[in-house]
Structure 1
């Protein structure tokens, strides 16, 4: 059957019933497993697993869910550039060949202040979320589109958009009529958002007590069916949880689990405490078993998966090994390497996969953005084995092949970034990715009883990949500046004069954005950051005569390379990263010139 696309946008109202009745009839006949693609859609999977690409190029896809009849719903980023609208896309495989024959777009609502997260079919409704809201629409038997009449379940009524930085609204349901919703921390390490912004500054101390903990950095419990609830209507279930996009209810032990996104840029923020290597692998992205009144310690503590301990955070006096007040907080189930960015969590309950998969969870890792100067990492779907709610082994690589490259120098190098997970009615596992909107359906075709170590062996070897393994501190150092590191450093050392938008103050300090003095001249940019600048210069036809201080004595080569990388990528859309070696070469040259100058002065004075 040829595929076709229907586009209907309602905010939620306004859509065409006639088109739906004709084109979106429910698939008929018994469910059966389709053939996998010859190359598994590019995925690498354990033995006897296959994958088929359900749909491609949907737009910037986020989370997804599957209805009991096999219809798939995918949440998109609002105002997606590929289709001119965000909202939701519905997919139907009418001829049961594994490919979506009907692709229908609907739900043209905004995601104010951030990226959306959260989608589920529950109790006959399609639940979706934005940064500020959780909605639901009644599903209609036989139709792909749900009823356009929209219920609003939750409203985040905080009008300060700065505090929506980590407050996407993923959610999970328990068996008792509740919905659990994280409210993420609006800062990285509990800094004063009014003075240093959400990302903070190098060496900055955290506020103590942290005011973010009152209404953020925790999980609230609400009534799953009550309309127009605000945070005040909810019950604060757990705290000390920085940022969560992965959340699910484990039916085996009837308990909530989340995977938390840890803090960023330890070396950039605390260069006297952490090396660049430590900052690449720490802090852990921990898997948390969230019980009532649990406290996991953010911002006062973080989890170190190598030491297997909670460690005192440097913003509160920590030195990278001290425990101190961190001992009073709950310990995670396990910890994943730093910055892998867990995006979705799924406890598998189906019968298609081997029995061992019914005793554990799948986690999708979106991949890091701030591991520079080491390779970016993550970009896989892993499996965590459980038995009766307790770990039975180390995490396993379940799905790989998303990056398309052996080494991810910069996040944009990854062809695909795993995002969402969902289970189909026949036990298939669905995976979405966020770069292009590709959807895979993973199937198992082998003998369920004989599945074991032989089938898993090849996936265990994948852990040697640069984007999965723990990097070697020397051999794996790529020597390149990092854009995320540069963002923090730019805002700390440059933005007060050149402004966050790079446009300068239109008086003493020239613009960086669109500057004819800097554009295309990387060496000049590095020299200015290193050595400073005094005297009049003409930029875009206007003369400026401010004083640019030298930063070479304060910042190391990687830090300066990161600032230059951020400026070039942010304001000039350049793709290449600035190398630390380039900075070192110009630093040596400047040092040599200074020595020569001093020698000439000595000779003149003799």
Structure 2
């Protein structure tokens, strides 16, 4: 009996202790969760303009950073580093610190750069205590100084793109890191589709494409070795036209990217593609990148509606090109065309509901060349992962950046999301390129209560014109257009310079009040017939891209469209006649004169 009594007493005592510990643990967890929530700063009014799932909130960290913003990184102490869209002497990186925990940056400092950087610099990432960032051609790094917002260490050059670059096309240098000391850097293709004459109507593609020897892919480098050039790296993947969105997924130890598809299906192959097809194709491809992968550029593009690779018109009928399809890697997912995926980030924090853990957030910067249909995307998307693999559906996570719907011109959009990063508490940070605004997105509800109701309201966002697939007839902005020159402009010029003539303030210059438009007629006619390549300055801002030649237009059409440009968008200049076009055309090389002269 004594034995049984002692056993009973010990069991009862142990149960009581266990119960007390369990209660204490639950109280501690509850207190910790409450403490975490109380540490979150109050959200900005109307979440700073963002539309988010239920119980998510946003605070505006910075309203308008000088130099604007592209990618973003957050240190383990909460300091924020933003890659300026426009750099300059000692001003390539913007450092932000919140000293009073209200969510807003109250210290903003600039550092880094060489003074020789052009716009479009991209990367900023923190890896092993170093801050890595890039210009168009160089990957730099600083050793971060504990406790210091601005690092005190000297700047190192890690990778230098030593190719001769006369034009600005797919030249950004994002970076990502694995867990073995390697850094991955894309070398984008300096071409749209490896044509004999780049971005020229009906020009065939070169087979095999020589650009793939040192471009159109991803190279692997040492993350710590200074002064590397491409020859010091190893080509890791090929057939990728332009990569800006790239992240290493620690869960499965793999590199993931979202590839920018090719452009100009309508402008280059008007007899093969309708304006609608050119607006929604080709797909922006979400890839898991294995070493040796071939994404298919320039021979193939991905059709997200047919869910298959399709040979590019430049390579139709070319011996050997079609046979390459069997060696290509299909994407995990194909997003609609021209959505401009400019960052991807795998969420590893604990603040958000469980469905977001290990999933991929994607920043869609927004299309520029969907004319004559509304511009599209301009939001943060999300792909849930289950059992280490992506699900077959994507979601809208954060919307409202553009502030308008439909988006007719790029300049109509107030904000364009670009960079994604995570803070030490699991908050998500978003940077955008138009005003230099930064948001911190937080979850304020009970994680276990998050589900279908909150996701349903985001699913409704897919019905908006900047997200849904446009109706081929009803969404065509050119319905009823009869003004001479306007339809030609919308078809061939509006994709880049936009329907309002203001350009995109990044790659494509404005025509409104431009000295190139209002100045010498002969130079303007030559630009349209010959195209333009290399750095230029328009209204005090530098641009460096490719303006394709339009010699396929007859003299009368050239005169109509240039007159339309010179007498619209706030411009008021004299007309251009077909005779003036004919006179200029006669002075140009054969390839600019061998077209109809209606």
Same fold (TM over 0.5): yes
Question: Aligned residue for 1:167?
Answer: 171
Question: Aligned residue for 1:242?
Answer: 241
Return the alpha-carbon distance in structure 2 between the equivalents of residues 250 and 232 of structure 1: 26
Unaligned 5+ residue runs, structure 2? 1-34, 479-485, 498-507, 530-549, 572-598
- Compute the displacement of 1:256 (Å): 0.2
The 1:236–1:143 alpha-carbon spacing in structure 2 relative to 1, beyond 3 Å, is: same
1:184 to 185, 188, 195: 188
Question: Aligned residue for 1:430?
Answer: 429
The 1:340–1:332 alpha-carbon spacing in structure 2 relative to 1, beyond 3 Å, is: same
Return the alpha-carbon distance in structure 2 between the equivalents of residues 158 and 37 of structure 1: 46
The 5-angstrom pairing of residues 441-460 of structure 1 reads: 441-460=440-459
Check whether the contact 1:486–1:562 (CA below 8 A) recurs between aligned residues: no
Determine if the alignment matches structure 1 residue 267 to structure 2 residue 271. Answer: no
Check whether the contact 1:421–1:432 (CA below 8 A) recurs between aligned residues: yes
* SS of corresponding position for 1:315: helix
Check whether the contact 2:87–2:118 (CA below 8 A) recurs between aligned residues: no
Question: Aligned residue for 2:396?
Answer: 397
Question: Aligned residue for 2:62?
Answer: 55
Question: Aligned residue for 1:78?
Answer: 86
Return the alpha-carbon distance in structure 1 between the equivalents of residues 317 and 441 of structure 2: 44
- Compute the displacement of 1:563 (Å): 6.7
The 1:517–1:467 alpha-carbon spacing in structure 2 relative to 1, beyond 3 Å, is: same
The 5-angstrom pairing of residues 175-574 of structure 1 reads: 175-192=179-196, 196-197=197-198, 200-317=199-316, 325-479=324-478, 485-486=492-493, 513-515=517-519, 551=553, 567-568=565-566, 574=569
Question: Aligned residue for 1:109?
Answer: 114
Deviations 1:44-100 (A, max 9, x none): 0001000000001103211110000000000102347xxx97411110010111111
Deviations 1:123-156 (A, max 9, x none): 1111111111111111111110012401111111
The 1:563–1:348 alpha-carbon spacing in structure 2 relative to 1, beyond 3 Å, is: farther
Deviations 1:302-359 (A, max 9, x none): 111111101111100179xx97643431100101110010111000000000111113
Determine if the alignment matches structure 1 residue 152 to structure 2 residue 160. Answer: no
The 1:350–1:485 alpha-carbon spacing in structure 2 relative to 1, beyond 3 Å, is: farther
Question: Aligned residue for 2:49?
Answer: 42
2:76 to 63, 68, 71: 68
1:137 to 112, 136, 142: 142
Check whether the contact 1:340–1:365 (CA below 8 A) recurs between aligned residues: yes
* SS of corresponding position for 2:518: coil
Judge which range, 228-237 or 70-79, deviates more: 70-79
Return the alpha-carbon distance in structure 1 between the equivalents of residues 203 and 308 of structure 2: 23
- Compute the displacement of 1:393 (Å): 3.2
Return the alpha-carbon distance in structure 2 between the equivalents of residues 278 and 487 of structure 1: 16
The 1:222–1:563 alpha-carbon spacing in structure 2 relative to 1, beyond 3 Å, is: farther
Return the alpha-carbon distance in structure 1 between the equivalents of residues 154 and 94 of structure 2: 17
Deviations 1:417-448 (A, max 9, x none): 00100000000000000001000000001111
Unaligned 5+ residue runs, structure 1? 1-28, 491-499, 504-510, 519-524, 530-547, 577-606
Return the alpha-carbon distance in structure 2 between the equivalents of residues 284 and 62 of structure 1: 23
Return the alpha-carbon distance in structure 2 between the equivalents of residues 489 and 363 of structure 1: 24
- Compute the displacement of 1:515 (Å): 4.3
1:99 to 94, 104, 111: 104
Return the alpha-carbon distance in structure 2 between the equivalents of residues 250 and 488 of structure 1: 35
Return the alpha-carbon distance in structure 1 between the equivalents of residues 338 and 415 of structure 2: 17
Deviations 1:3-36 (A, max 9, x none): xxxxxxxxxxxxxxxxxxxxxxxxxx99921111
- Compute the displacement of 1:167 (Å): 2.0
Check whether the contact 1:184–1:217 (CA below 8 A) recurs between aligned residues: yes
Check whether the contact 2:144–2:153 (CA below 8 A) recurs between aligned residues: no
Deviations 1:268-318 (A, max 9, x none): 111111100000000001111100000011000011111110111110017
The 1:334–1:405 alpha-carbon spacing in structure 2 relative to 1, beyond 3 Å, is: same
Check whether the contact 1:486–1:564 (CA below 8 A) recurs between aligned residues: no
- Compute the displacement of 1:161 (Å): 2.9
Check whether the contact 2:365–2:417 (CA below 8 A) recurs between aligned residues: yes
The 1:501–1:350 alpha-carbon spacing in structure 2 relative to 1, beyond 3 Å, is: closer
Aligned residues: 489
The 1:550–1:306 alpha-carbon spacing in structure 2 relative to 1, beyond 3 Å, is: closer
Return the alpha-carbon distance in structure 2 between the equivalents of residues 361 and 138 of structure 1: 28
* SS of corresponding position for 1:189: coil
